[in-house]
Each structure stands twice: as structure tokens, then as C-alpha cells.
Amino acid sequence: MVRRSRGYRPTLAAALAALGLLACTPSLNWRQVSLAPSSVIALLPCKPDRTTRSVPLGGVPTELTVAGCDTGGATFALMAATLPAGRAADEVLAGWQQATLAHMQAGDTPARVPFSPPGATPLPHAQRVQAQGQRPGGGAVVAQAVWTARAVPGGGTELLHAVLYSERPQPAAADAFFDGIRWP
């Protein structure tokens, strides 16, 4: 007899199923990570390096927490920031997308679909994007990325950007990566 715990969620089942498909890939060793002070929980396929730095999000210096790693021919990165009450979260997400795509010199029009993991606040620029461009030192790169946000109780907004950079698209790895993102 199989019992389900009270914390069972269909999205967790989907993430575990996607991870099961990738289980045969020895370079992907998925683990749950957090990006404190953000409350977001995500999965990374390797032990992450971490840093915090100040970046201009929406033209205002903002503390950005970053966790990322390289494995299986890809770079996986998670970035989180908290905006105070009164800052336009969707505007900041739009600018963050634009800056990311400009930095990689994305060509053509990137493919975009809405992205709203469990606990997220639906916003027009909360999206999953796939784009082709150039690495800073040259060479082709494909970015599979998401941007999302969550309203913080008491005011403010947590923002999250997750990205997988690789030479060729890795849809199964990207699905597992993005399906593992959630807020409590």
C-alpha cells in the first residue's frame, strides 16, 4: 500500500517524473537548493557555486543572490532578488529579460510562453524564453530561461530568473530544471 503525504503536489510529481527521465544521465545529479533570503526552492543538477552582488535592476541597485553550476555541457544558474513595495515588478522582469537577451546578442525573435510555478504571482513578463545568441568570447549559445515573481506578505516582490545555457537546446534538462521551481 502506497501512502501519500499531505505535502504531495501534482507539480512535484511532474518534476520527479521529469527527473526520472534524466536519471540515466550520470552528469545530472539533481538536488534541492534555496536562495536565501528569497523563499524560492529550486532544483540544480550539480553542486552550485554561490554569490551575492549588487546589480542595477530597474535602474536601482539591488542585491542579487546567485547559485549556479556547470555539468553535462550546460551552465545552470538561479538568480533571486527582492524588490521593496512600490517597485513595478513586471517592469523589472521585462528589463531583466531585455538585458539578458542583449548581453547574449540574441538573434531573431525569442520563443516566449507564460511561466507561473506554484506560489508565483501571474505577471505578463513572467515567461519562459528560448533564444539563440553568442557567448561573450564568441561561439554559439542557446539560452532556455524563465523569469517569475511572487508577492511578499507585507509588501514587496521576490523575483527569480533561472537559465540554462548550452551549445544546443536541452529540452529535457530545461523542463526538469524549471519544473523544480516553487515558492512555499
pTM score of the predicted model: 0.84
Q: How far is 184 from 163, CA to CA, in rounded Å?
A: 21
pLDDT in tens, the chain (184 residues): 433 333 433 433 333 344 444 444 456 799 999 999 999 999 999 999 999 999 999 889 999 999 999 999 999 999 999 999 999 999 999 999 999 999 999 988 898 999 999 999 999 999 999 999 998 888 999 999 999 999 998 899 999 999 999 999 999 999 999 999 999 8
Q: Give Cα separations from 137 to 83, 104, 133, 141, 167 (angstroms).
A: 32, 10, 12, 11, 13
Instruction: Provide the terminal-to-terminal Cα distance of the chain, rounded to the nearest Å.
Output: 28
pLDDT at 96: 95
Give the Cα separation of 62 and 165 in Å (integer).
Answer: 24
Helix ranges, the chain (H): 10-22, 89-103, 171-179
3-state secondary structure of 148: strand
pLDDT of residue 26: 52
